[in-house]
A and B are shown apart, each in its own frame.
Chain A
Amino acid sequence: MTTEMRSYRYMLTRFLPVFGLCLFLGTSSCDDELDVDPQLSIDAGNALTTSQGVQSALIGAYERLQGASLYSGDLNLMSELLGSTGNLIWGGTFLTYRQLYQKAITTDNAVVSDTWIRAYSAINVVNNIIKAVDVVEEDQRDEVLGEALFIRGLVYFDLVRFYGLPYEPGQQNTQLGVPIVLEPTTVLSNANNVSRNTVEEVYAQAIEDLTRARDLLPDRANLDDQKEDEAAANTYSASAVLARIYLQQAGEPGNSAEGPYLTKAAEEANRVIEQGGFALVEDFSREFNNSQNTSEDIFAIQQTVQSNAGQSNTGLATFYSASQRAEIEVATTFLAGYEDGDERAEILYLDDDDVIRNGKYDVYSANVPIIRLAEMYLVRAEANQRLGTALGATPLEDINTIRNRADIPALTSVSLEDILRERTLELAFEGQLLHDLKRLRRNVGDRPYNAGELVLPIPLREINANPNLLQNEAYT
């Protein structure tokens, strides 16, 4: 064999096959070379195929809640700014928040659209978890499903309160709420052009999710890893939010339909107080700016230095704290509403410029309490008072429990107004303002509780992207 022949054979045996393999034998073998996987993320199709994957997604769902657009920021700020009537002053530069403060919101307001986007992002995570929950190990399945349902119910409740007209007790509530999406999104199609459900439907969905969560979630006594599980929702977290929902549904004191709602609110609040094992923090100011849940926290958003809502342009500390942007000022008239010696007034502090600041969110990396035991006493007191019952305790006892912790004298008798005032002082700047004004049918300035400007617009970007969405009347 000559050299030439040998090299010819070499070519035939080595190079031509490389060349020919893909060209002549079809593309299947080489096609595999095009399957390149990312290193910083994982394929959606594989993400939730294991128990661990689904549980990781559950942590992801909490992370969604933590965002500055939801529970560590804007859900609080939107309620406080849109509900403000002289109790606070917005002194900031952001036009988005200014619009909320002035109750003149444009449909392209980024805070309004970011909250919408983040809320549905959280809902989509939950929907993915619920769909995949069967792969979770059996002993943990109820807990995972319960937490997922808790998150979805909580988010739908807050969405419908902001983007829909108020709930009318005993009515059909056909006013438009928000779209209910219960299936995970795997691919985008026209099916994603959802329509708005009614306020009644959204409340019903939230109640259903939270009721299931309440029944699925474990008792706190069963928690094994304290730190990790404290951060998670438990059965009482679901009850507490249900109490909040029923009270919201009950509407104006004295209306003929309030009874059933108030009963359920009192029952859920009573369950938390009686069985939950929570306790009021002795020193009011210690309830806030903690890196771990307190004995009073029924559900709190966890923040750390690594994972938080921000400290420069976003997050509650950014806007409230004197050490940050400090763009929300507490009105002196509001501070004057506290009795002398009320410990709750101490958290409203004077900064270097003699401006009063809300100190409940003074540390950007601290937890944000979302629902705490004091609120349950207030719910039970209000419901009992309006019903004329004394489930668990009398309204006077509950109010004095609150006052006692605040280090102010006990009352000898209590009226509904006393209860509501105590609520305002206790829960100040915690994101309840707008919703309380609406449910009690109180005016916001000159605007009636159901004024269109007090409802957020459906974000313009959402209207543009989805032809099936109808805009709220005040914004058309």
Chain B
Amino acid sequence: MKRHLLLCLILLTVLHLSAVGQNRTISGRVTSAADGTPLPGVSVVVKGTTIGASTDPNGRYELNVSGNPTVVFSFVGFLNREVTVGANTTIDVALAEDTKTINEVVVVGYGTQEARDVVGSIASVKGNEIADIPVPSVESAIQGRVAGVQITSGSGKVGQGIKVRVRGSASVTAGNQPLYVVDGIPITSESQGVENNEPTNPLADLNPNDIESIEILKDASSSAIYGSRASNGVVLITTKRGRAGKTTFNFDYSTGFSKPTNKVEFLNSAEYLELFNESVANSETVRSYIEAGFYADLDEFKDDYFLEGEWRNPANSNWQDQVFRTAGYHQFDLTASGGSEKTRFYVGGSYTDQEGILVGNNFMRASTRINIDHNATDKLTIGLNFSLARTVNDRVADDQAFATPLQIVALPPIQPILDPETGEYNTGTAYYNGLIEVRDAFRKTVGYRNLSTIYASYAIVPGLTFRTELGLDLLNQSENTYQGRETQDGSPAGSAESRAVTVLNYTTNNFLNYVKQIGETQNVEATLGISFQKSETESNYVSGIGFPSDDFKRITNAAEIDFGTSEGTEYSLLSYFARVNYKLLDKYLLSVSGRLDGSSRFGANNRYGFFPAVGVGWILNEEPFLQGAEFLSLLKLRASYGFTGNDNIGNFDARGLYTSGSYAGNPGIIPLSVENPDLKWETTEQLDLGINFGFLRNRINGAVEYYQKKTEDLLLAVQVPATSGYATVTRNVGNLENKGVEVTLNTENLVGAFTWSSSFNIAFNRNKVTNLNGQVITSGSVNRAVEGQPIGVFYTFKYAGVDPTNGDALYYLRAGSDETTNDYSAAQQQVVGDPNPEYVGGFNNTFSFKGFDLSVLLQFSYGNEVFNNAGRFMSANMDYIDNQTRDQLNRWRQPGDITRVPEARFLDGNGTGQSSRWIYDASYLRGKTLTLGYTLPTSIISKFHLTRVRVYASGQNFFTITDYPGWDPEVDTPGTASTAQRQNVGIGVDFYTTPQAKTITFGVNIGF
């Protein structure tokens, strides 16, 4: 019956049009003013009538008119445009995007909301901003784009974990990564790699080009609906969906290359020998050896360190160049989307192959996605999101291992790369020659990831919708390693490891949404639901040693299976959530939300945690006293307050447990932990005050926000009387706080044919650990969590430079004193640096002119310090045979020399003890992304039945300005067997850590 009705309507319209439109036909094409792309579905209506048409997929329309009417072009998301027809028969129109944020919709927890009505703090990034950026995972792509989200890649190795901190670190021992939610389903984001290497990154399984938008929920009002997992912020990732209309295809291809952002200058062979000879000659230790008769003279001593006599007959090797490379990059994406009013789809496939700048480091991802929505009836919509990805990550050894490629810089340049006798890699180097590792070892991680959701949405009565979702996140990862017999760890006959892990994470969300307008002045939106999530992890590990030859690499071929484990763990979360948004007179906003989380991790006495939040907003420009202010498009004051939690506390920390133990070959049981029924989540109390503004039809808009996050009940290992049989228990006892200011400013500097818009953001966060129950928590090499200090401060000896009279390294005796000493052991350790930045931010500019588009994103971090933990080896005035950075040539040589590099004295340890000598200001300004594109005119490409052809060139990390003398100021050596505590506290440390890649790509987007 309905179908008939529709047919009649169309028929009537056509008849009507033909009845009045007898005069003439106008036609034309509607495009987007921003990028010249055709706009399908634009409504073209004769003003004051119902006569109209809509544009076809190429943006074309035809309309019969009479007289000299005015035609109105309107399209969602664009400003209406009125054109008087006059004598024209062809009217081409470019519609400007409606930058008023009023109609902009943002994704929120379990729904969407108009940006104008949001009272919380939500940062939003659109998919097109992060498309085609040559990075393995999506977090890197949003670096610098939103205020208050600090993203640190830490290492330039591809495929590895990335730290994301939303408004600072809210925990010391529990995880600090935000909760990631893809299409409504929380996903696994923790590393699943082996313990003896650095963290892997499960988010790299997502294809960034499939993403429609990313919302980051920062304050309590927006995030409390995620309850016990929201303290670190929530990242909502929404994938692309189809729209009704002709099927559109998009093909993207890009290719390019990467190089290290920077190389560090090391001594060449001649410089090395100069410093080595000088250092040995100055050495008190060497003199004492000779006096004791161990060596006849200095030459014999040197022969003992260079057994092949390389110091007499030096090679000139640049070891650093051996491990860096110009790395290739390829990416293909093919998507199709479209559908009918009843059924819409998005399908895509992609392939990315990114070589790391270190030899032996690669990342490959092949992924597919199918998103389907189907209107089964007027009231029932069902749908499916399905994605499958395969990732292959060739990894290299962790930074701490001699086998990590970049530790090769420690090798003396006087030693040859190849053994002159065999022509093979030199095995007689001062330290392990990492090139042997590249040749004879591998560490391959293969992951399969399936993220799937099915949903049904049913409109029960007008305004009331029920939605049910069932989501599945299946992560299957295997990791195989082999070290050949000539490698350091594989000697004497090869060693191999194999680990397999499966993480199954399933979630069901069932919720009601209710929207109601009460009278003319009140609007209510309510959400009420229940969610259940269960996560199950299974892992197996086995290792073997002794292989017949390096051609055998599987553990089946090992002579000895020396270690094996099989483990499993799980947790579940049962939640009830609700939210009510109330709006009065379109200007007074109230949002009340909360979540009741029951977690299997929590103790029996605290099984359920309640996390409420309230937010209020006042849109001032709707008030009569500001109605006259034409220049003002938006002025919104907002405030929110609420509680969120952090449940990353270990699955069974609350339980009283027995574990197994064996004695004399017999299996026994041993108490493992005492029951702690009070154990619960860490709680963060957050206050957020903000103002959103827009001027001149929103050509200038932005926001200023202040927040205060106070975290209490921090989980700490508390010492208990061991007479109980237990030494420590985990309890909720600590406190810390973050407070800060975030500013975002967007401007449209030029509009018209030439457009220029800017977006600037900056965030100031101040972290302070306020209570650790009297404990000092150390992590990494010099980092600490100390009461009264920001998390992760550097605590070590304070270097005071060089005594100009004798070349001795000096240290400050104690904190707050100018008194110095050359006796390292007499000095006291103190807080000497802070790895936390004073502010971070980004500045993006986009330009377009005719078919050209240009965008330039700058990203910066100011005030963060880095401790180069390898400084005591590589920048240590030739205390040992490690090659030195070139700045060490500036060593003290004679009385009166003013320098910070002490006199070179081989083995004397002059200035080589761990100290602030290697703490540097690592502030930086980085050209993060630059893209120059050209969209070919439609007149050319339409001949080939194409709708869009854009070619572009892009640069990632295209420049870096910093005073940091190491490879890269964005550094944070990840460490192995990474506990949350290590990740939270042990920050800002460099240890032969790989710099970021500078990547240049060339690409093409083709639409048809």
Contact = CB atoms under 8 A, between A and B. Distances in A.
Interface of A: 3-4, 7-8, 11, 15-16, 18-19, 22-23, 27, 30-31, 33-36, 38-45, 47, 53, 56-64, 66, 113, 116-117, 120-121, 123-125, 127-128, 179, 181, 184-188, 192-194, 227-228, 231, 302, 304, 306-307, 459, 461-462, 464-466, 469
B721 A192 contact: yes
B598 A38 contact: no
B663 A7 contact: no
A19 B110 CA distance: 15
Interface in B601-635: 607-608
A62 B729 CA distance: 24
B811 to A, nearest CB: 22
Given A36-B570, A36-B572, A59-B667, A7 B376 contact: yes
Contacts of A307: 661-665
A40 B659 contact: yes
A15 B510 contact: yes
Interface of B: 376-380, 456, 458, 460, 466, 468, 508, 510-512, 528-530, 532, 534, 567-574, 576, 598-600, 607-608, 651-652, 655-677, 719-727, 729
A446 B458 CA distance: 90
Nearest to B652: A38
B195 to A, nearest CB: 15
8 contacts: A7-B377, A8-B460, A27-B608, A30-B598, A34-B572, A63-B663, A117-B722, A307-B664
Contacts of A31: 574, 598, 607
A7 B742 CA distance: 48
B787 to A, nearest CB: 16
Contacts of B720: 188, 192, 465
A11 B663 contact: no
B600 A186 contact: no
B722 A41 contact: no
Given A7-B379, A18-B468, A192-B721, A44 B675 contact: yes
B666 to A, nearest CB: 5
Contacts of B529: 19
Contacts of B662: 59, 63, 306-307
Given A113-B722, A123-B725, 7 more contacts: A8-B379, A42-B658, A44-B656, A59-B667, A121-B725, A124-B671, A125-B671
Contacts of A184: 725
A34 B599 contact: yes
Contacts of B660: 41
A23 B466 contact: no
A227 B528 CA distance: 65
Describe B's contact surface by its main secondary structure: strand
Given A11-B466, A15-B456, A22 B658 contact: no
B569 A40 contact: yes
Contacts of B569: 38-40
Nearest to A2: B377
Contacts of A227: 664
B675 to A, nearest CB: 6
Given A62-B664, A186-B674, A42 B727 contact: no
A188 B729 contact: yes
Contact of B666 (A33, A47, A59, A124): A59
Contacts of B466: 11, 15-16, 19
Nearest to A24: B530
A34 B607 contact: yes
B719 A304 contact: no
Chain A binding surface SS class: helix
A307 to B, nearest CB: 5
Given A11-B466, A47-B658, A464-B719, A36 B668 contact: no
A42 B725 contact: no
A193 B719 CA distance: 12
A172 B975 CA distance: 57
A465 B658 CA distance: 23
B574 A33 contact: yes
A438 to B, nearest CB: 24
Contacts of B607: 31, 34
Given A53-B669, A125-B670, A462-B721, A43 B655 contact: yes
A23 B567 CA distance: 34
B671 A44 contact: yes
Contacts of B608: 27
B722 A302 contact: no
A302 B665 CA distance: 9
Contact of A36 (B377, B651, B677): B651
A466 B574 contact: no
A34 B658 contact: no
Contacts of A124: 671, 724-726
A41 B530 contact: no
Report which residue of B460, B570, B651, B658 has the largest number of chain A beta carbons within 10 angstroms of its beta carbon. Answer: B658
Contact of A35 (B378, B600, B658, B666): B600
Q: Which 9 A-B pairs have the closest CB atoms?
A: A124-B725, A59-B668, A44-B656, A302-B664, A60-B668, A60-B670, A19-B510, A36-B600, A466-B721
A42 B567 CA distance: 14
B574 A34 contact: yes
Contacts of B570: 36, 39
A121 B569 CA distance: 26
A304 B510 contact: no
Contacts of B651: 36, 38
A16 B676 CA distance: 37
A176 to B, nearest CB: 14
Listed residue (B530, B570, B573) with the most chain A CB atoms within 10 angstroms of its CB:
B530
Nearest to A30: B574
B724 A44 contact: no
Contact of B568 (A39, A44, A461): A39
Contact of A465 (B377, B568, B573, B722): B722
A15 B511 CA distance: 10
